[in-house]
Amino acid sequence: MSLSVKYLKGKKFEVTCRSHRIIIDQPESEGGTDQGMTPIELLNASLASCAAFYAVVFLERRIPTFSGLEVRSTWQYSEDPHRVGTIHLSIVLPQSLSEYEKRGLLRTVEHCTVENTLKHPPQVLIDIMEE
C-alpha cells in the first residue's frame, strides 16, 4: 500500500492514494488558507471513520437504517513530546440498543484497524531521497 503527499503552496499539500485526493492545510491562524483538514484532524477522521465502519458492520443485522449514525471525535494534546494524548470517540446511535448489544458494539468497534494501529504502533522508517 502507498500514497503520496505533494507540496502545493504555503502550508497546503495534496495527498493522493489510488484515484483519491485530499487537501491538507493549516488554519489561517497557523499560516495556512484553511482549505483542508490538518494532519491531526485527518488522524482523528481516520480513527472515527474506521469506528463508524465497524459500527455499521455490527449494526447491519440489528437496525433497519443507519440514518443518524454518527461518530464524533474530540482530542486533547499532551506535551513532552507534543502529541495527541487523548482521543474520545462518541458513537451516536439512530435508535436504542440493549445493554448487551451496546457491549457487542463496543467489542466490534475495538477491532478497528486504525485503533489497533494506535494501540500497537508500527515501526516508522524514514529515509531521504533526492530527485
Residues 1 and 54 in one domain: no
Q: What percent of the chain has pLDDT over 90?
A: 90
What pLDDT score was predicted for residue 59? Answer: 92
Reduced to 3 states (helix: H, G, I; strand: E, B; else coil), residue 20 is strand
In a domain, 6, yes or no: yes
Is residue 37 a contact partner of residue 13, using CB atoms and an 8 Å limit? no
Residues 31 and 53 in one domain: no
What pLDDT score was predicted for residue 63? Answer: 79
CA–CA separation, 110 and 80 (whole Å): 28
- What average pLDDT score do residues 101-108 get? 95
Domain assignment of residue 7, given as a range: 1-36
Residues 45 and 93 in one domain: yes
pLDDT tens figures, 58-89:
998 877 787 889 999 999 999 999 999 999 99
Q: How many domains does the chain have?
A: 2
Position 18 confidence tier, pLDDT thresholds 50, 70, 90: very high
